[in-house]
Structure 1
Amino acid sequence: MTTTDQRAFDSILSMAQNLLRRTVAKTGEMVTPEMIDSELNKLEAIMEGDFELVERDRLVDELIRRYSHTIGRNATLSDDTDHVPWLTAERKRDWLYWRRYSEYMEAKLPLVALDALDEATDEVLGHLEDPQRTGTWDRRGLVVGHVQSGKTGNYTGLICKAADAGYKIVIVLAGLHNNLRAQTQIRLDEGFLGFATLANIDDLPAVGVGLIDADHSIRPNYATNRTENGDFTKQAAAKLGVTPEQRPWLFVIKKNKTVLERLLGWIRNRVADHTDPVTGRKLVTNLPILVIDDESDHGSVDTGEDVVDEFGKPDLEHQPTTINRLIRSVLNHFARSAYVGYTATPFANIFIHDKGATEEHGPDLFPSAFITNLAAPSNYIGPGRVFGSASSTAADLPLTRPLAEDEYVAWMPQRHKNGHRPRWDGEAKLPDSLEEAVRSFMYACAVRKLRGQGNRHASMLVHVTRFTSVQAEVVSQVAEYVRRLKGRYQRGIDLADTEALMRDEYESSFRPGMARIRADLVEDEKLEDFDWAQVRDVLPDVIADIRVREINGTAKDALDYAENEQTGLKVIAIGGDKLARGLTLEGLCTSYFLRSARMYDTLMQMGRWFGYRDGYLDVCRLYTTTELVEWFGHIADAAEELRQEFDNMVAAGGTPKDFGLRVRSHSVLTITSRAKMRNARPVSFTYSGDLLQTIVFPNRPDEIAANFATTERFVSSLGPALDLGNQHYVPEGQKWAGHLWREVPSQQVTAFLREYRTHPASFRIMSPLIADFIDEMNKDSELVKWTVALVSKDNPGPEDKHLIAGLDMAMLTRKKTVDHEDRYSIKTLISPRDQAIDLTKAQWQAALELSRETWRRDAERNDGREPPAEPRGPAIRKTLGEGNPAKGVSAQPERGLLLLYLLNPAESDVHAIKGADPVVAFAVSFPGSSSTRRVSNAAYMGNSVMWEALNVWVD
């Protein structure tokens, strides 16, 4: 598609969306293909020339896809202390920057997404202060998005609105590297400034929003430009001056000591208009400032020690680390300031001490005003959909190609040194698995070309080492392999074997994989399939277009997407840290990823494969290690636990300072860097309101037999059982099989837990510690009476039957995940409905109502498009712990729920336990509680808010 064709397509698309919006608003009907066809007919009558340049079917397909998307509900914790509400529809009426940005984004976003962007940016701006408010004020907040989910687009919209409202200086802190800063500048040129900030050119060409409204009188001012070295320079600092009457100023700068010191000096010497007579601090009183901190968990967090003294009071003479100190100093020089951090990985931000402050630098960057958690749209592909949850199996992950060690270790050992020379079969060449990944990228580009996406960007990521010298060797090997394939297809020499390999690979693996991804992950899109002959026809041109680029601190290559906008850049990007954070890889299709960082935030940010893949998700592939698949699954669970805790606090009306967050620990992973966690401590913690379930078991028959014998003794001690179908309340359509005991004394439960042996790799589920917690809660007369359920398979076959303590049971099937020499791991144990066992009807209905209150229709969280039809675990546990007087439901903190399961070893796929006894698994559902009782363990790290609330430090 040519540039003219694309403009015609975008123009029709934008106008069609607006017509459909009006029709929907007028009729209240859902958008249908017939409605789309009708509106396009109206447009064709007045845009005949444009319609001649585009394929009508493509327009229809794109409009159907856009109107199939849904956007979840955002959630915000806020503290309105010293805040004056101000943002009204009347105030927004004459805004220009937002109007043109909104119009610019119409061709790029479905209207439902554009409306969500409008709502989300209003939410954030409304929690900041009115820039026209006089006096002194300071607001600090945090926006938590998802990796590669459109945070830049969100804060661009926020900047447009802030400038419309009257903020005069906007500073965007854009990462640590020049290429990320330049990429951010380009995005803001297009979305806010409206012109390309080229160096040494007087007549700057209009771009983006500037093509919509070319009025030079509203053009914002800029202090930085889009070149690689376009940061805030000495020359700019020496010449630049601003006054309250001027249009807003934009600074896009790195988080770099020299640049920030230069900016701070400019503020003191050229902008400040007042000196505090007591402290001598220079102040800017006439210009409100907005600071946007992109990737705010990276570089901005104070990693110094002793932020507060032993009594929890701030150390006013504390010296923060450099970047943190300079950001705070910039804010502290303005009487009217607003700071908004953006991140997808808030693990470091929540460990900022909420009381940290010094005389010289002002308060720390704790988001005291608000934390907004953005929901993921239905077309977002993030860790929850790529990796499932902890211990997901390869069969659950259609996008992922797990790599066994023998497929890469000889070429790139995990612990290699700088100067390592990767070799495969003794030669300087790629391992077979990386050659396969490169070919996978070629198939992806070919399919996209056949779908009419040949002029769109397409990228492949190769991330296998942090050393630039080793990256250079990898670049050479990848380039040689691409060159060899290109030569064979262009000249036809030595092609037969290669073509036979690729044909077989495409037909037996890649194409069936496409079908599986479409079936499992693609909704509301019709993605065309192609046979080998069609792919083969375009493959020579596709291979010829591919470029291999090295992206690191020493390479001169750059991802020049903007310069290739018309033809689409087809690039294999090879690098390390520069590819790990923030840098967007446009049209990312294929990833080959071996890095083994062990921090939650670093790993998540390395996952550049997350994001939006409309029109080509089925050709995407991730090649990575089985270990990383397991770790990412755990991180997805940790992130979900964080969000669930957040939602519960929102429902309770809490503030950021009330938010005692907990982040899961791991036997191998760390939450974030140890320096960022200096304000975190292992805490005495509670299991109240938690669900614990065993997913890791021994794979030695003698240990399995010991746990089965322990369980048999426990079940025998419980006395006569009820049938699990005879509960207090069985909702219509539900059915449970198994046995039930009520009013079981806690002493029997704790005796069982102390005798049962959990596997050492079960880092969170340690049965003796759970028993200790129950004993501790018994001191407040909580968890004293237990419901115990032995849950059986619903529709068993003869091979599932087994006796335990004289009771008939049907064993469950739970397949292993990745292979482990020392254990049997499963993905998940319980069915979500099992936590509702033996609820009364009133409890069930109250928990369902709460589940619907906290439902956010977030695709990444698998919350679904419709409100839940049955209560969810967190709501059940909260209802039991707190009750719901309005529904006639009393709290039952004395009641715990222990669920027992037998897993069929013959169905486990673990050879070592084929003939063993049933594997006993258990889950414990704890009601919520306000008790201050705690047990101590290092399985959790808590932030300052949490350990102050608990009033305990455990070293």
Structure 2
Amino acid sequence: MTSPEEIAAQLELLENVIATAQRLVKTEKDKSKVTPTFIAEKVRLAAEMFSGDSSFIVDQEKVVATLIQRFSHWIGKSTTLKDNAGHFDWLTATRKRDWQYWRRYEDYLESKLSDIVVEGIDEATDDILGLLEDPQRVDDWDRRGLVVGHVQSGKTSNYSGLICKAADAGYKIIIVLAGMHNNLRSQTQMRLEESFLGYETTIDRDPGMPIGVAEFGEDLKTNSATTRAENGDFNNAIAKHFHGISPEERPWLFVVKKQKSVLTALLNWIQKRVADSNDASNGRKLVTKLPLLMIDDEADNASVDTGEQMFNDDGTPDEEHHPKTINSLIRQLLHAFSRKAYVGYTATPFANIFIHHKGATAKEGPDLFPRSFIINLAAPSNYVGPARMFGKMTKEGRKGALPLSRNIADHYDAESDSGWMPPKHKKTHVPTYKGQEIIPPSLNEAICAFVLACAVRELRGQDGQHNSMLVHVTRFVDVQNHVREQIEAAVRRMRQKITRRIDAQEQIEQLRNLWEHDFLPIRDEVVKLSPVEDCPPEMPSWDDILAVLPDVLNDIEVRSINGTAKDALDYATPGAVLKVIAVGGDKLARGLTLEGLCVSYFVRTTKMYDTLMQMGRWFGYRPGYLDLCRLYTSADLVKWFGHIADASEELREEFDFMAEAKLTPEQYGLKVMSHEVLTVTSPLKMRNAQTLSLTYSGTRPQTILFHRDAKIQQQNLDATDTLIRSLGNSWENSPKHDRDGEPDSWPNARLWKDINVSDVLTFLGAYVTHPNATSAKSVLLSEFITKMVGTGQLTKWSVALLGGGNGVGDQHEFPGGEPSSSYSIRKTEDSVDPERVDQKSFAIGVLTDPKDEGIDLSDDAWREALALTRAAWKPEPSRGRTSLPNFPSGKGIRETRGRLGGDVDRGLLLLYPLTPHFYKEKTPERLIVPGWSKPIMAFAIAFPSSDNPISVEYEVNLLYWMQEYGPSE
């Protein structure tokens, strides 16, 4: 059996050959010559160079495959919103000439990534650093920004590069706020040891073994006040041994948790030992000689002043993680420096945008609103994000989803509100399936899928890489331990049967069935949906799988991840190749990377979009094994993730348009707050949570939350009939437009143009929206339109009634037309969210078809909208963007809408009759609204973008939010 030392030596040899061959390939300036044959020749040369240093034989085919992938990947351009008030441009080529930290890190990255991706990181970090201030600038300055990445997309690589460049430029104190738990802090410390320090930290804080960048340059004698150990965070005991820091010294690194005691100790130490001056106005201690860079990893978690009390498992208040306290301490740390830069990193920026940007205090200084800049990072072409995982909404419906999700329902019995893992349970819950303390069949199948994935990866030559499975079903540690024990028992039974060949036939048949009916056909489907360079390799034979199963099962371990540092350390042990089933809750939810994640089993109760997105550990990079990955989760969560993918994409697209228009972060903030779907973050993160200020300009509010009350449905149908009657009979029937050879048509729809705003206001006055809707509120919409009319805007409208769907319901004759029994909304039953149906309300996930906003656009206006869409567009495969769009986005149409009909900006009201049945069966018990079998009327409004938008305010119902979406976790 191969020892861990031998495995480590083999991996080191392989990495050396890959790095050397990559450098040889990069010397070729003519990229057209970089063919598979050319790469293979350089690999042969590199292997020969190392052949005398080792008794191991390098698998040259594996090296060639790795390099072909690296040289075919690319990364798009990041986009930026900025406010340069008080800022001086300073980052020049001359300034960067002798940088050593960055040069080491760049060489280190190039040994692992394609040079194109490294160039992308170089360019993005230059952009960020340039928006910070020159650390050599001696007067006071304060820059605050936000970098928006993608979940599991390499944010750490980006901020590692930023830290290296900041150290080269002259920043002296670098504080990294690394999550709320020991495992993430320890993992971040280790990453920065590899990318910045160049050595392993030890208990006594002396440099240990050289690692990472140490191989690519001299030891730069960088200081670290924190270590990789479980207790390696900053504390009062450490503070006693540290004295002040001299401006001449190399920079000091602090990797700390967002925890009250840690941040308090750091603040006290800075004020007592580092401060060199006093503020003239109030006498507070101030550091004037040492410029500060603070990196806030997962900046939307705990840093935002939500006023929301966190609780321990036993129900007691968690004072260490009180967001108000954490926010205050972070701001006080920044406020203790006269020269400082704060950069938040997040994949879910929704909470950060809600920070009140005028919340300054004398003690804490300004709040953390990213007023200086927001940068939207592009992900490399091989990143698998929400758009690839769950598909993208197009005018033909959702397209392009990877076939990797598996619906589960056996974890919960809805009728008895019980089962193995019901959505709401206590910390004393004992998971049982059909009365026994065993896992449900779906989790058993997920474990079988993980075993097969490990076996295939081994046979594909990925035997030196980690494999992980995530089980994420409860936030309570005690319940997690029950789950771990049950999984251990299941794995043990499987191991005994397969390795000893005792009663193994049924187990082998289960695995073979999954292999033949799932793994083999899914590999072929993933090939069709993947670019050539990222196609998964061929599958091995079943006999080969059978041969390696005993070894695979012997290697699998089951672990609880409860926030201790050792959970993160195991991946870094030299020579250790893990096959681990990780059982966890909140500690797994944020930041912690699970190496080689193949299978996820995911059941959650929270519906807050930012929380759900952060739990998407399955996003990321899956080179050579994407086809083996599986997500076992409930059908409604897959649907919700689809909505999230659409909403996030819409927000990023809004960002791209605003960057093109050179707007500022504050102007973007108002847009985020107006988004119908993405306000589904904890309303407490809106800080001044009771009042939400928004503008509808350039947005498309839509009704997605409805009353389950037949009287209200009758009132809304009457309001629609009254409106249609007032519009008269001069409608365009079944509108159709040429659209440059790809016609758009709306069968059974009616379109009225040049409608007076008073008709729209009358309709909104009579239509009853749900009081807990976020932005599609008829009273607010009326107020906004009335205010805009007062400034000469939104006086003319188009109205469309969209029929012709394939739902069912009783006939209803709209004024002036034939009876209709066929209602709109692409099968409403697919959109009603069963998790969001209660006694009084129901919700759907999506209402409008993307093309509907263009129903009243002439072909010339449509082309203008397409041109605007393309101008703001950039290629980014992770967002489903690989070729120029051939139809305009909703945002492009709304930008154009202000120019319809000469200088008249025109609103569009879209009316949707929805099928009143959950499913196609036309039976009373399937009615969405009890006693109501006529169409349920919904609407959306496409508002043109305005150069002079008006804001309106409304009260947020916090009680509703907490009941509907649960507490933030």
What TM-score range do you get, normalising by the shorter chain?
A: 0.7 to 0.9
CA gap of 1:439–1:641, structure 2 versus 1, over 3 A, is same
Structure 1 residue 27, shift from structure 2 partner: 3.9
- Tell whether 2:361 aligns with 1:345: no
2:189 aligned residue:
185
Which of 100, 108, 122 is the equivalent residue of 2:104?
Answer: 100
Structure 1 residue 172, shift from structure 2 partner: 1.1
Cα distance in structure 1, aligned partners of 2:594 and 2:111:
21
1:237 aligned residue:
239
1:578 aligned residue:
587
CA offsets per residue over residues 153-203 of structure 1, 9 Å max, x none?
A: 111111111111111221111112111111111101111111111325866
1:886 aligned residue:
none
1:162 aligned residue:
166
CA gap of 1:195–1:599, structure 2 versus 1, over 3 A, is same
Any conservation in 2 of the 1:665–1:939 contact (CA below 8 Å)? no
Aligned runs of 1:871-882 on 2, under 5 Å?
871-881=888-898
- Tell whether 2:858 aligns with 1:858: no
- Tell whether 2:685 aligns with 1:676: yes
SS of corresponding position for 1:291: strand
Structure 1 residue 61, shift from structure 2 partner: 2.7
Any conservation in 1 of the 2:71–2:114 contact (CA below 8 Å)? yes
1:310 aligned residue:
none
Cα distance in structure 1, aligned partners of 2:682 and 2:710:
39
Which of 216, 224, 227 is the equivalent residue of 1:225?
Answer: 227
1:204 aligned residue:
208
2:311 aligned residue:
none
1:892 aligned residue:
904
- Root-mean-square deviation over aligned CA pairs: 4.1
Aligned runs of 1:287-436 on 2, under 5 Å?
287-303=290-306, 321-388=324-391, 398-404=403-409, 407=412, 409-436=418-445
SS of corresponding position for 1:187: helix
Which of 495, 499, 507 is the equivalent residue of 1:486?
Answer: 495
Any conservation in 1 of the 2:651–2:672 contact (CA below 8 Å)? yes
Any conservation in 2 of the 1:264–1:329 contact (CA below 8 Å)? yes
1:482 aligned partner, one-letter code: V
Structure 1 residue 277, shift from structure 2 partner: 5.7
1:950 aligned residue:
none
- Tell whether 2:549 aligns with 1:539: yes
- Tell whether 2:853 aligns with 1:835: yes
Structure 1 residue 758, shift from structure 2 partner: 7.3
Cα distance in structure 1, aligned partners of 2:951 and 2:140:
42
Structure 1 residue 228, shift from structure 2 partner: 1.1
CA offsets per residue over residues 309-358 of structure 1, 9 Å max, x none?
A: xxxxxxxxxx9933223222222222322221111222222222222222
Structure 1 residue 137, shift from structure 2 partner: 1.9
CA offsets per residue over residues 763-801 of structure 1, 9 Å max, x none?
A: 65566865665556445554343334566889x9xxxx9
2:512 aligned partner, one-letter code: R
Any conservation in 1 of the 2:643–2:845 contact (CA below 8 Å)? no
SS of corresponding position for 2:195: helix
CA gap of 1:769–1:396, structure 2 versus 1, over 3 A, is farther
2:649 aligned partner, one-letter code: E
2:108 aligned partner, one-letter code: Y
Structure 1 residue 912, shift from structure 2 partner: 4.4
CA offsets per residue over residues 90-137 of structure 1, 9 Å max, x none?
A: 211111111111111113222221111001111111111111222322
SS of corresponding position for 1:171: strand
Which of 263, 266, 270 is the equivalent residue of 2:269?
Answer: 266
CA gap of 1:47–1:543, structure 2 versus 1, over 3 A, is closer
Aligned runs of 1:901-920 on 2, under 5 Å?
909=920, 912=923
1:744 aligned residue:
755
Which of 172, 175, 178 is the equivalent residue of 1:174?
Answer: 178
Which of 542, 548, 552 is the equivalent residue of 2:558?
Answer: 548
Any conservation in 1 of the 2:697–2:949 contact (CA below 8 Å)? no
1:138 aligned partner, one-letter code: D
Any conservation in 2 of the 1:896–1:927 contact (CA below 8 Å)? yes
2:553 aligned partner, one-letter code: I
Cα distance in structure 1, aligned partners of 2:798 and 2:637:
38
Cα distance in structure 2, aligned partners of 1:474 and 1:713:
58
Cα distance in structure 2, aligned partners of 1:366 and 1:556:
31
CA gap of 1:472–1:44, structure 2 versus 1, over 3 A, is closer
**TM-score normalised to structure 2 length:** 0.84
1:257 aligned partner, one-letter code: K
Which of 134, 137, 148 is the equivalent residue of 1:133?
Answer: 137
- Tell whether 2:650 aligns with 1:644: no
Which of 926, 929, 932 is the equivalent residue of 2:943?
Answer: 926
1:313 aligned residue:
none
- Tell whether 2:833 aligns with 1:814: no
Cα distance in structure 2, aligned partners of 1:9 and 1:460:
26
Any conservation in 1 of the 2:278–2:284 contact (CA below 8 Å)? yes
2:964 aligned residue:
none
Cα distance in structure 1, aligned partners of 2:734 and 2:572:
66
1:57 aligned residue:
61
2:470 aligned residue:
461
Cα distance in structure 2, aligned partners of 1:628 and 1:747:
41
1:253 aligned residue:
256
1:849 aligned partner, one-letter code: A
Cα distance in structure 2, aligned partners of 1:335 and 1:700:
59
Return 769-778 or 131-140, whichever deviates more: 769-778
1:89 aligned residue:
93
Cα distance in structure 1, aligned partners of 2:373 and 2:672:
20
CA offsets per residue over residues 407-433 of structure 1, 9 Å max, x none?
A: 575012222212221112222211122
CA gap of 1:49–1:827, structure 2 versus 1, over 3 A, is farther
Structure 1 residue 551, shift from structure 2 partner: 1.3
Which of 886, 893, 898 is the equivalent residue of 1:869?
Answer: 886
Return 717-726 or 89-98, whichever deviates more: 717-726
Cα distance in structure 2, aligned partners of 1:397 and 1:711:
40
SS of corresponding position for 1:280: coil
Any conservation in 1 of the 2:466–2:578 contact (CA below 8 Å)? yes
Which of 112, 116, 135 is the equivalent residue of 1:112?
Answer: 116
Structure 1 residue 869, shift from structure 2 partner: 3.3
Identical positions, percent: 48
Structure 1 residue 22, shift from structure 2 partner: 4.8
Structure 1 residue 60, shift from structure 2 partner: 3.3
SS of corresponding position for 2:163: helix
For structure 1, the 5+ residue unaligned runs are 306-318, 884-888, 942-955
SS of corresponding position for 1:542: helix
Return 390-399 or 3-12, whichever deviates more: 390-399
Which of 523, 528, 536 is the equivalent residue of 1:519?
Answer: 528
CA gap of 1:908–1:764, structure 2 versus 1, over 3 A, is farther
Any conservation in 1 of the 2:473–2:602 contact (CA below 8 Å)? yes
SS of corresponding position for 1:270: helix
- Tell whether 2:500 aligns with 1:497: no
2:888 aligned partner, one-letter code: P
Cα distance in structure 2, aligned partners of 1:395 and 1:27:
34
Structure 1 residue 712, shift from structure 2 partner: 7.5
CA offsets per residue over residues 656-689 of structure 1, 9 Å max, x none?
A: 2343334469999974445433324443644332
Structure 1 residue 939, shift from structure 2 partner: 7.5
Tell me how many residue pairs correspond in the alignment: 912
Cα distance in structure 2, aligned partners of 1:877 and 1:565:
55
1:948 aligned residue:
none
Structure 1 residue 803, shift from structure 2 partner: 10
Cα distance in structure 2, aligned partners of 1:395 and 1:115:
29
